[in-house]
A and B are shown apart, each in its own frame.
Chain A
């Protein structure tokens, strides 16, 4: 058996040079696509995620429409070139499940009851994956929805936390995700103070879980601030361009 790699050194520095509470650098490009009603290119470290929103529009097939609210249709896909080894382009069980997970995380913020008998299509395309794509997908999809002008109760921000070398770390990278002891993606709605997604893989004690959850919420708040800034500056920037 190979020896276990050290994920955090004595100074508390992680494999990519971050501290335990640091997030990877985040870059948000709103309105990245011209044809979609709302879109965003969300980059978090090596993660590159493209989210696009269409609708609300007429539902096809008709029997899937709901008389009292709009349906959300989320498609989460990983590009064949997104991982280290080529991924088969066929939708996997994991992708189908994550599509559902992202939809559930967003359904609580979108005011679907305003547009009965319609559908809102959300596409989350992972162009490059480096752990934490489901929460990055939720974050990107929430931005694309706001960019499309779809009424929402708030903006969902997501961040994963986990346990590596016995310490709780924020925003895991690929090595920590694979070799760490636990991984917990959390999506949080700061304005409503509610959690809309919480999953966990691995083992943590109750104390560790509490610490991890509070760290996840803090990290999500940092992500949320970046989301708000991106949405606000999209419109202010125009003037700078003109000058």
Chain B
């Protein structure tokens, strides 16, 4: 696999009968890049896969967030995007929610970590999230780390292959929020460190070829080191 060209904002990608996809705009019949990234053409749509980005909420996205403010009828949740998410109390207490009886602060205080899904968002109003659904809710144990949202596709891999590989090699369970927050469920701190090391490698070198091999190498290499350390002791 050869190295792909990198484009910068303002660079003309193509002109003519093309559609402007992600991270591109159409200006005077030309498609131009709006972010630093790698261009890709699929059919008649041109897009740029950004090398660095930030999370913009999308409906149905799984996100991991932290409660930042508590109100009598809702929580404000930091989902690490330009917009703070709203979790309505009705979603947590059910339709019989009564602000005079149910206490939102007792249910979830500031700092509570949540696995949630985005139900509403259109830029004119803040995103609304839900914690009702399979696998959603308060996170009680595990380790949290983050990755730049532009690297999530590479971290998950084709049909989840990369994530499965990391999970198998480290014996952990990893949940990747689309907002770049990652939950690592494991008892072992060593396994957690290994996963974080692999994530950092992906973050650094996602755009370079043979990523999967390098991730395997780093995970196995660590295992050998651990073995060495154990024998030393």
Contact = CB atoms under 8 A, between A and B. Distances in A.
A191 B10 contact: yes
B8 A239 contact: no
Nearest to A120: B82
B169 interface: no
A155 B9 CA distance: 6
Given A149-B150, A238-B205, A238-B208, A58 B82 contact: yes
B150 A190 contact: no
B50 A118 contact: no
Given A192-B10, A236-B3, A152 B34 contact: yes
A19 interface: no
Interface in A28-47: 37-38
Contacts, number: 91
A55 B81 CA distance: 9
B27 interface: yes
B52 A151 contact: no
A236 B10 CA distance: 20
Interface in B1-33: 3, 6, 8-12, 23, 25, 27, 32
Interface string A131-149: 0000000000000001111
A228 interface: yes
Contact of B8 (A58, A232, A236, A238): A232
Central interface residue in A117, A118, A152, by most chain B CB within 10 Å: A152
A243 B35 CA distance: 27
A-side interface size class? 35 or more
A148 B52 contact: yes
A206 to B, nearest CB: 31
A205 B170 CA distance: 72
Nearest to B48: A151
A192 B10 CA distance: 8
B149 to A, nearest CB: 9
A35 B75 CA distance: 27
Given A55-B82, A58-B84, A116-B123, A151 B9 contact: yes
Nearest to A118: B82
Interface in B206-223: 207-208
Interface string A224-238: 000110011001101
B129 interface: no
A64 to B, nearest CB: 15
A242 interface: yes
A180 interface: no
Contacts of A117: 83, 123
Nearest to A58: B84
Contacts of B204: 238
A211 to B, nearest CB: 27
Nearest to B201: A242
Contacts of A150: 35
Contacts of B3: 236
B208 A115 contact: no
Given A189-B10, A235-B207, A238-B204, A153 B34 contact: yes
A155 B8 contact: yes
A38 to B, nearest CB: 8
A147 B82 contact: no
B49 to A, nearest CB: 12
B36 interface: yes
Nearest to A31: B52
Contact of A155 (B10, B53, B208): B10
Interface of B: 3, 6, 8-12, 23, 25, 27, 32, 34-36, 50-54, 56, 82-84, 123-124, 150, 204-205, 207-208
Given A116-B124, A149-B52, A236-B6, 15 more contacts: A55-B82, A111-B34, A115-B82, A117-B83, A147-B52, A149-B51, A151-B9, A153-B10, A231-B8, A232-B6, A232-B8, A235-B6, A236-B3, A238-B204, A239-B205
17 contacts: A70-B82, A115-B56, A115-B82, A116-B123, A149-B35, A149-B50, A149-B51, A151-B25, A152-B35, A153-B9, A153-B27, A153-B32, A154-B32, A189-B10, A231-B6, A235-B51, A238-B205
Q: Which 5 A-B pairs have the closest CB atoms?
A: A154-B10, A191-B10, A151-B34, A56-B82, A152-B9
